[in-house]
């Protein structure tokens, strides 16, 4: 399979559906809706929705409501970016080459846009029109997976660990705890939610959870490596920002080559987790390989 083509096609489908379900900017409160659309539809790789879709494909059974389920993850991811960029958090003025949400709409609206996106993620996966045909038992489980992965024991918890580590001489264990929660838990939720939507068995879910944890780690290590080795053109931003900020990363602990090797090991482990799956899991296998091969 051609993974670049696969990712591009899925990305287009996800973008189209996000545009469809996000409230229009002419529906009141108009500024809120304009603000949340600004961030939600600002591009991005849509890796979490695509992972959910690929996990459902791996199971190979019908998964009613898969697209809303996949997109709910992007609502959560987008809210987390808006709140992380706030002046009291990372205080970032630009994201993906565009001014951050609070720079355009002000802090109050950015906080509320984040709150609205977070709430809408749960709205989407519980709406009868969007989730038609989905077994209610699965649906409740999807809500639980999303809440668990994005809350205090997941993504929000990771953001707290990250803030508390700022300007501190953290060890490798702490670095891993931060990433496991901040990025890992939502990637884990993405894969599990796709699998649950398609009616995975517990055994399949275990294998896919292992896969998700491995690629989550690979993804973060590869990001850290790219920050050192990428060019300005590839990254769309200056390289080496981590080192300049004195931020501890995987290359800090293992060197660039050591970190690359670690990421490759994670990818191999992730692919091995899929040994009981046939060709239906090829998209998941290729996504794992893509993580360390990508240039941005």
For a second copy, give the closer residue by CB, 58 or 186: 186
Q: Would you call 224 helix, strand, or coil by DSSP?
A: helix
CB of 139 vs a second copy, minimal distance in Å = 5
* Distance of closest approach, residue 32 Cβ to a second copy, in angstroms: 5
Between 10 and 150, name the residue whose CB sits nearer to a second copy. Answer: 150
In sequence order, the β-bridge partners of residue 94 are 99
3-17: b or e for each residue (b if 16 or more CB lie within 10 Å)?
A: beebbeebbebbbeb
**Whole-number Å distance between alpha carbons of 88 and 50:** 31
Nearer to a second copy, 58 or 118 (CB): 118
Question: Which two tokens mark 204?
Answer: 């399949």
Specify the residue for token string 């987008």.
78
Which is nearer to a second copy, 32 or 58 (by Cβ)? 32
In eight-state DSSP terms, residue 279 is G
Distances in Å between the Cα of 232 and the Cα atoms of 137, 241, 249 are 48, 11, 19
**188-207 burial, b for 16+ CB within 10 Å, e for fewer?**
bbbbbbbbbbbebeeebbeb
Question: Shortest Cβ distance from residue 103 to a second copy (Å)?
Answer: 13
CA-to-CA distance for 273 and 206, rounded, in angstroms? 9
Tell me how far, at minimum, the Cβ of 226 lies from a second copy, in Å.
27
DSSP 274: T
Q: How far is the CB of 251 from a second copy (least distance, A)?
A: 26
Least Cβ distance, residue 112 to a second copy (angstroms): 6
Contact set with a second copy (CB under 8 A): 23, 28-29, 31-33, 36, 79, 83, 86, 88-89, 106-109, 111-112, 114-116, 118-120, 122-123, 125-128, 131, 136-137, 139-141, 143-144, 146-148, 150-153, 156-157, 159-161, 163-164
Q: Which is nearer to a second copy, 170 or 287 (by Cβ)?
A: 170
Cβ closer to a second copy: 43 or 87? 87
């Amino acid at each position: 399979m051609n993974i670049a083509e696969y990712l591009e096609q899925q990305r287009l489908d996800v973008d189209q559906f996000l545009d469809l379900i996000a409230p229009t900017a002419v529906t009141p409160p108009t500024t809120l809706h304009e603000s949340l659309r600004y961030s939600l539809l600002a591009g991005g790789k849509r890796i979490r929705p695509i992972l959910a879709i690929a996990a459902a494909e791996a199971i190979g059974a019908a998964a009613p409501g898969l697209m809303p389920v996949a997109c709910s993850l992007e609502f959560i991811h987008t809210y987390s970016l808006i709140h992380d960029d706030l002046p009291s958090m990372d205080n970032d003025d630009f994201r993906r080459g565009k001014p951050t949400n609070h720079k355009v709409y002000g802090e109050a609206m950015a906080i509320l846009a984040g709150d609205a996106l977070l709430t809408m993620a749960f709205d989407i996966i519980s709406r009868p029109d969007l989730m038609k045909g989905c077994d209610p038992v699965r649906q409740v489980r999807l809500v639980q997976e999303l809440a668990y992965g994005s809350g205090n024991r997941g993504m929000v918890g990771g953001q707290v660990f990250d803030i508390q580590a700022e300007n501190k001489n953290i060890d490798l264990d702490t670095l891993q705890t931060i990433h496991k929660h901040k990025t890992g838990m939502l990637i884990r939720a993405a894969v599990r939610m796709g699998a649950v939507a398609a009616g995975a068995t517990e055994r399949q879910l275990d294998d896919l959870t292992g896969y998700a944890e491995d690629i989550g780690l690979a993804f973060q290590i590869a990001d850290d490596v790219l920050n050192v080795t990428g060019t300005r053109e590839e990254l769309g931003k200056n390289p080496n920002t981590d080192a300049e900020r004195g931020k501890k990363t995987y290359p800090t602990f293992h060197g660039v080559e050591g970190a690359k090797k670690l990421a490759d090991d994670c990818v191999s482990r992730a692919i091995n987790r899929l040994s009981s799956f046939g060709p239906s899991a090829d998209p998941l296998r290729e996504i794992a390989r893509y993580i360390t091969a990508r240039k941005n």
